[in-house]
Amino acid sequence: MIRVLLADDEAMIRSALAALLRLEGDIDIVAECVDGDEAVAEAVRLQPDVCLLDLEMPGLDGAEVAERLRRTSATRCVVVTRHARPGVLRRALASGVAGFLPKSRGADEVAEVIRRVAAGGRYVDPEVAADALSDERCPLTDRELDVLRVGRRGETTAQIARTLSLAPGTVRNHVSAVLGKLGLESRQQAVLMAEERGWI
Q: Give the C-alpha separation, 32 to 8, whole Å.
A: 8
Q: Give the C-alpha separation, 53 to 91, whole Å.
A: 14
Delimit the domains of the chain by residue range: 2-134, 142-196
- Do residues 55 and 63 lie in contact, with contact meaning Cβ atoms separated by under 8 Å? yes
Q: What is the DSSP string of 75-92?
A: -EEEEEES---HHHHHHH
- Do residues 2 and 28 lie in contact, with contact meaning Cβ atoms separated by under 8 Å? yes
2-134 CATH, one of 3.30.470.30, 3.40.50.620, 1.10.1040.10, 3.40.50.2300 = 3.40.50.2300
Angle between helices 86-94 and 126-134 (to 10 degrees): 100
Going residue by residue through the chain (200 aa), what tens digit of pLDDT does each one get?
999 999 999 999 999 999 999 999 999 999 999 999 999 999 999 999 999 999 989 889 999 999 999 988 889 999 998 876 667 777 788 889 999 998 889 999 999 999 999 999 999 988 777 766 656 678 889 899 999 999 998 999 999 999 999 999 999 999 999 999 999 999 999 999 888 777 88
Decide if 2-134 and 142-196 have a common fold: no
